[in-house]
Amino acid sequence: MAEQTTPQTAPRRSGGLVSTLTVELHSHYAIRLWEGRNRSDEKSKAEKRPKILGMPEAMSRAGFAGRDAAAGNPYGDELLVKLEEAIKLATQKVEEQVKKIETITAAIPAGITISEVTSSEPLNLDVFSRSPLGYRCVWLLVHYDQLALKAFRAFHYGLISRSQRDDFLEKGSKAIRVVYGLIQNYRTVPVTYEDIRHKTARGLAAIERLGEPDPAVMSGKKRSSFSPLSAVTSEDD
């Protein structure tokens, strides 16, 4: 009787993971920060307005920095470190303003109920970022959107003055613009840690253009918690 064998089957694997993210923005203030502003074409210097980065471009540049960091570029790693710290600080500042408004709103007399405020036609956005820090930028903007809604609600019901409302809005938007300003100047320069350490032609050109990278980043002591695995090695390795 002939021996029979069971055919080998290929190991079964699941398909790629997929997910989608949709964001609703309700205030014009948050929407303007999302869209940014192009540089004015006015001829008069007094009338010209500088470009303001928008969220899509901010996410894109954060993605470029992540890609550069993964390729062993110290400037990419350095931006991720600065960006994570800036987003954390900006989020704290926005949340501080939210808590101040909530404290004021909580002082209304008993028996009064004020509903949350929303837009009748919010802006719905499908969001995709190549960097986790890009999504963290979006979370920051959503926090600001909530701050704006609470500020306008408090002003509408006479709980804060117009100047107080504008102060809340300005402090929150300023925190986001600081993050934008950090990302706005980032440019990809083809260089690696080894180029910087060994002062190659590429390394010297990068240093001349961007300055010396942070020594703590170069040594690997300072890393963003969202930095990809990259070719960070010490000089003794």
User: Each residue of 78-95: pLDDT tens digit?
Assistant: 999 999 999 999 999 999
The answer to whether residue 42 scores a pLDDT higher than 70 is: no
Distance, in Å, from the CA atom of 109 to the CA atom of 158, rounded to the nearest integer, reads: 13
Q: What is the pTM of this model?
A: 0.83
User: In this predicted structure, what is the pLDDT of residue 134?
Assistant: 93
User: In this predicted structure, what is the pLDDT of residue 9?
Assistant: 65
The answer to whether residue 44 scores a pLDDT higher than 60 is: no
User: In this predicted structure, what is the pLDDT of residue 236?
Assistant: 45
Q: For all residues of the chain together, what is the average pLDDT?
A: 88
For residues 152 and 18, the model is more confident at 152
User: Each residue of 197-212: pLDDT tens digit?
Assistant: 999 999 999 999 999 9
User: In this predicted structure, what is the pLDDT of residue 38?
Assistant: 76
